[in-house]
Amino acid sequence: MKCRINERDAEIGGGTSLGKLAEAHCPGADLFILNGCPAAPDTIPGEGDAIVFIRRGVKPAPEELDALLAARHTPGVHEKLKRSSVGIAGCGGLGSTVALALARVGIGRLVLADHDVVEPSNLNRQQYYIDQIGMAKVEALRTTIARVNPAIQVTVWGERLVQPTVASLFAGVDVLVEALDQADQKAMLVEAAMKAFPTKPLVLGSGMAGWGGNERLRTRISGTMTVCGDETAEAVPGRGLMAPRVGIVAHMQANRVMELLLGPDEGIGPELVTGRFDETC
């Protein structure tokens, strides 16, 4: 019987438990993942299943890393995402969070653009650390991404974005994410992208200042363009930008990027949520 063990094709005897397979393929494994979901050692895998064995607390060899990082993915997702590339314009609260979410799911290539350096007021919502203050944001982010998944290819642009740069820098990406701070910069990016590549999917963030109001945050799709946010709450004197609300919108953007790359996830439709709640993991 054919199956995949730690991302490699394997031929196994029918009726063999995960525990027995682990003894042969990954001695000492104490975490068994079957098709993206943790499973008990006495589970019997079926034809074509994706099995991952992990030794908890042991740092894996670089060649194993890719498979182990993606063990909790829905099967098949990892291969598709690895072949994909995403551009991120702006690496502040939105962009740094989108970049790390996409790095964690193993996007093949990220193109990051930001002209700024990390300063202390960024740390209330952006994915940077005290020891990175003063570093160029794109370099700091590149370092953090490599700590999560060194297989991600990262291209960086450290100067302010202007229209001709947008057209050349992001020409090769599958999806472009707008993650800029100022509304006029957002407008510049949309104009440049629409002119240079009108059919490329573009995911915008608009309206995420303040706190609360989860129910006001939404995703609107118009042609190749998606807008995430409440389209209302502006960052102005008296209303700041903070990690939770900016982070939600950033993750809405990253989640939409996955949907654009993979197609809709039929498994999260209403029939599954109501009908098979006990089987989710």
Partner 1 sequence: MLKVNGEPLKYQKDMTVSDVIRAKKYSFPLLIVKIDGVYIPRESYDITPVPDGATLDIIHLISGG
Q: Note whether 234 binds partner 1 by CB under 8 A.
A: yes
Q: Longest Cα pair distance anywhere in the chain, in angstroms?
A: 67
Q: Which amino acid, residue 197?
A: F
Q: Is the Cβ–Cβ distance between 120 and 131 less than 8 Å?
A: no
Nearer to partner 1, 60 or 158 (CB): 158
* Residue position matching structure tokens 């104009």: 191
Q: Note whether 121 binds partner 1 by CB under 8 A.
A: no
Q: Note whether 180 binds partner 1 by CB under 8 A.
A: yes
Q: Note whether 112 binds partner 1 by CB under 8 A.
A: no
Sole window of 101-109, 136-144, 152-160, 206-214 interacting with partner 1 (rule: CB under 8 A)? 206-214
Q: Note whether 208 binds partner 1 by CB under 8 A.
A: yes
Q: How far is the CB of 190 from partner 1 (least distance, A)?
A: 6
Integer Cα distance of 52 and 38 in angstroms: 9
H/E stretch holding 186:
helix 183-196
- Listed in sequence order, the residues at least 6 apart from 161 whose beta carbon sits closer than 8 Å to its beta carbon are 89, 90, 113, 115, 169, 180, 185, 188, 189
Which of 160, 69, 151 is CA-nearest to residue 114? 160
Sole window of 19-27, 30-38, 152-160, 188-196 interacting with partner 1 (rule: CB under 8 A)? 188-196
Which pair of tokens denotes residue 35?
Answer: 């098709």
Sole window of 23-31, 58-66, 192-200, 262-270 interacting with partner 1 (rule: CB under 8 A)? 192-200
Sole window of 2-10, 66-74, 224-232, 258-266 interacting with partner 1 (rule: CB under 8 A)? 224-232
From the list 48, 187, 213, 214, which residue makes contact with partner 1 (rule: CB under 8 A)? Answer: 187
H/E stretch holding 119:
none
Give the count of beta carbons closer than 10 Å to the beta carbon of residue 264: 9
Q: How far is the CB of 154 from partner 1 (least distance, A)?
A: 20
Nearer to partner 1, 21 or 166 (CB): 166
Provide the 8-state DSSP code for 121: G
From the list 139, 224, 248, 272, which residue makes contact with partner 1 (rule: CB under 8 A)? Answer: 224
Q: Is the Cβ–Cβ distance between 98 and 179 less than 8 Å?
A: yes
Which pair of tokens denotes residue 211?
Answer: 């706190």
Q: Note whether 201 binds partner 1 by CB under 8 A.
A: no
Q: Note whether 205 binds partner 1 by CB under 8 A.
A: yes
From the list 5, 179, 252, 258, which residue makes contact with partner 1 (rule: CB under 8 A)? Answer: 179
- Listed in sequence order, the residues at least 6 apart from 271 whose beta carbon sits closer than 8 Å to its beta carbon are none
Q: How far is the CB of 140 from partner 1 (least distance, A)?
A: 17
Which pair of tokens denotes residue 92?
Answer: 């502040």
The residues of the shown chain that bind partner 1, judged by CB under 8 A, are 90, 92-95, 179-184, 186-187, 190-191, 194-195, 198, 204-209, 220, 222-225, 227, 229, 231-236, 241, 246
